[in-house]
């Protein structure tokens, strides 16, 4: 990332009355880092650099979970000298976070947009949700015991130094705790260390059992020794940092990873199904996830009178289209006159759906040649739709519908194409972030006519399109048939990079769940693992619809199935994932023994 000379703010415009009022750089050019020692490359990787707006403000932050940063509310307040009030929700200005990049002139670390703010309300603290979780960087632990006067802390940040407006590296400094107050700490810099403009929101931590533990967040300071600040001789380089040890419950409860298909915002995935009644009416039901992972009995989330829809003419998708942390649903509908429309329903907090909105109409697309998949393909925190279009001449194209802020979609653009060589009927297609770059990719299990089966990834680009050259992964000449295979994506081992789980129905009637995990940062799905098996006669693949999601809210995706028994019973079954990416024995959830027909139900997928 290149340095900018645009105007930035480093935090509060003035310090508290207990300290000398010294401005924090209201019109200062861009700056990045704590007066102190430049950090060695790769150290304190949980520290983040924030660029707010077009460099109107610059702050620091700490990664406290794969999807959340903790920083100062003053970084986002309209006038921090007057009020620390920050509206919850989307930041007023575009905010870009760089995590794990000690030297900002390099390309190390990971870059994410901030898509949601959750202010504490009474302290100079705010949680900032990233558009996609960060992979491979350990979040910092939150202190569980109170700090004490005399303890030593280390602060880190990307603010101004004594010599530079815009230093190349993150800096660290040693501080002693002078006093512990309700809600904050007063610190004194050691050996010339100071908190400067741009360091606001950065971590103040101690080392416990050789590991960093977050004690406080930089809030405001006298800035003694910072570039451009002249303080009276003898002025102490003190600072005030906001305590976090006594609000760790608030941090943990508000910084959980946002699961896919969470329609009610409770932190667990749910399942949405479309049911086509015999009288021609239709309903969308939501089967909520439970604390154990078992899916609960359904509630009605949308109803349509007879004659409104024909389920056979729908292709159903789900995703968080407006970026509010709850999943929404969409339907491509093919009319008898050849018209194709895309409709979307936004979710309400109670798990129902708002009124239907028409987002796109075409008279030139053929409904039967479209296959949609959802994912955040450009990394902006909103799920988009990619449609695989299988042309009559044997060529194939992907079209991407990028989501707008209101949850509708821009007109599709051509995002990938292949003139010949593939047959769409031989593809099992799914979507997930397999290379950990914060954007979802497309992946497929391809069945060649000669008997070879291969895992292929199409990595996404920042535009929402897809890389021309596919990434080759695992392959086999002994796998088996297309008809016996189902695939589903999810982060089954909790490492914040998506995997693929394949259900395979063996010829002898036994079944297995086999996972394919990325073995490299290029997204190649090449590590095969048998994750669960069962003997003959227990399941029939043709009677089940497989889907993934974090149904118990533990941060790992699970597998579930809508299963129709020959007796007419319909049941939801969950295979909860273990920490090693294998699965527990099936957990039987909601069950309908009468009045429902498996063949009249369809699951919303992504």
Q: Can you tell me the mean pLDDT for 540-562? A: 95
How far is residue 364 from each of residues 70, 336, 417, measured CA to CA in Å?
48, 13, 18
Distances, alpha carbon 15 to alpha carbons 86, 161, 238, 239, 489, in Å: 19, 19, 10, 9, 49
54-58, 235-239, 571-575: which is most confident: 571-575
How does residue 234 score in pLDDT terms, banded at 50, 70 and 90?
low
* pLDDT confidence band for 315 (50 / 70 / 90): very high
Which ranges in 231-364 belong to alpha helices (H)?
Answer: 248-254
Decide: 495 and 479 in contact? Cβ < 8 Å.
no
pLDDT at position 320 is 96
294's tokens = 């078992």
pLDDT tens-place string over residues 252-291? 989 988 899 999 999 999 999 999 999 999 999 999 999 9
Where does residue 321 fall: left (phi above 0), alpha (psi -120 to 50 degrees), or beta otherwise?
A: alpha
Mean pLDDT of 118-128: 96
Query: What pLDDT, on the 0 to 100 scale, is given for residue 55?
Result: 85
**Dihedral-angle region of residue 191 (phi above 0 means left; psi in -120 to 50 means alpha; beta otherwise):** left
The predicted pLDDT at position 256 comes to: 86
Judged against a pLDDT cut of 70, whether residue 20 lies above it is answered with: no
Model confidence at 17, pLDDT cuts 50, 70, 90, reads very low
135-176 pLDDT tens trace: 889 999 999 999 999 999 999 998 877 666 666 788 888 999
pLDDT digits (tens, 9 = 90+) for 380-406: 999 999 999 999 999 999 999 999 999
d(CA 118, CA 458): 34
pLDDT digits (tens, 9 = 90+) for 85-107: 999 999 999 999 999 998 888 88
Distance of CA 583 to the CA centre of its chain: 23
In this prediction the pTM is: 0.85
Contact of 48 with 69, CB cutoff 8 Å: yes
Give the mean pLDDT of the chain: 89
DSSP state of 156: E
Tokens of 109: 């670390």
pLDDT at 25: 31
């Amino acid at each position: 990332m290149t340095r900018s000379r645009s105007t930035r703010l480093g935090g509060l415009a003035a310090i508290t009355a207990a300290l000398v009022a010294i401005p924090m750089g209201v019109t200062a050019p861009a700056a990045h880092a704590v007066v102190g020692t430049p950090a060695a490359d790769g150290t304190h990787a949980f520290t983040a650099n924030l660029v707010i707006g077009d460099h109107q403000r610059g702050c620091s932050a700490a990664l406290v979970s794969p999807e959340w940063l903790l920083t100062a509310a003053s970084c986002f307040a309209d006038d921090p000298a007057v009020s620390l009030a920050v509206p919850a929700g989307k930041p007023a200005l575009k905010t870009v976070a760089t995590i794990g990049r000690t030297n900002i002139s390099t390309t190390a670390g990971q870059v994410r947009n901030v898509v949601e703010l959750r202010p504490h309300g009474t302290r100079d603290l705010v949680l900032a949700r990233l558009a996609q979780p960060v992979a491979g960087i350990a979040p910092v632990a939150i202190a569980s015991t109170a700090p004490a006067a005399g303890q030593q802390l280390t602060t880190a940040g990307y603010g101004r130094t004594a010599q530079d407006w815009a230093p190349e590296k993150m800096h660290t400094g040693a501080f002693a705790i002078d006093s512990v107050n309700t809600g904050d700490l007063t610190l004194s810099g050691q050996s010339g260390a100071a908190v400067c403009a741009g360091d606001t929101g950065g971590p103040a931590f101690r080392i416990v059992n050789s590991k960093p533990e977050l004690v406080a967040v930089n809030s405001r300071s006298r800035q003694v020794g910072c570039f451009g600040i002249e303080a009276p001789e003898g002025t102490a380089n003190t600072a005030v940092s906001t305590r976090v040890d006594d609000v760790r419950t608030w941090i943990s409860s508000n910084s959980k990873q946002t699961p896919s298909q969470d329609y009610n915002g409770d932190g667990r995935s749910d399942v949405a199904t479309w049911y086509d009644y015999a009288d021609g009416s239709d309903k969308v039901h939501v089967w909520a996830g439970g604390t154990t992972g078992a899916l609960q009995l359904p509630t009605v989330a949308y109803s349509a009178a007879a004659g409104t829809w024909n389920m056979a003419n729908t292709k159903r998708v789900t995703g968080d289209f407006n970026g509010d942390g709850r999943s929404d649903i969409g339907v491509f509908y093919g009319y008898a006159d050849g018209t194709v429309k895309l409709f979307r329903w936004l979710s309400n907090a109670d798990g129902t759906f708002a009124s239907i909105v028409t987002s796109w109409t075409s008279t030139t697309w053929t409904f039967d040649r479209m296959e949609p998949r959802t994912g955040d393909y450009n990394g902006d925190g909103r799920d988009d739709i990619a449609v695989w279009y299988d042309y009559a001449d044997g060529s194939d194209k992907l079209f991407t519908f990028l989501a707008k802020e209101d949850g509708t979609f821009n007109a599709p653009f051509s995002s990938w194409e292949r003139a010949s060589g593939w047959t769409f009927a031989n593809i099992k297609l799914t979507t997930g972030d397999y290379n950990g770059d914060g954007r979802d990719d497309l992946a497929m299990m391809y069945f060649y006519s000669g008997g070879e089966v291969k895992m292929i990834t199409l990595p996404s680009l920042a535009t929402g399109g897809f890389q021309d050259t596919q990434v080759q992964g695992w392959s086999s000449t002994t796998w088996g048939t297309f008809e016996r295979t189902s695939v589903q994506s999810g982060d089954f081992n909790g490492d914040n990079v998506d995997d693929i789980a394949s259900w395979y129905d063996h010829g002898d009637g036994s079944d297995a769940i086999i996972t394919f995990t990325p073995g490299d940062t290029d997204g190649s799905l090449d590590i095969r693992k048998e994750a669960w098996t069962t003997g003959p006669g227990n399941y029939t693949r043709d009677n089940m619809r497989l889907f993934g999601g974090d149904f118990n809210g533990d941060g790992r995706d699970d597998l579930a199935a809508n299963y129709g028994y020959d007796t007419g019973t319909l049941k939801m079954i969950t295979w909860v994932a273990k920490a090693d990416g294998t699965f527990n024995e099936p957990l039987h959830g909601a069950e309908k023994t009468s009045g429902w027909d498996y063949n009249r139900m369809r699951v919303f997928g992504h």
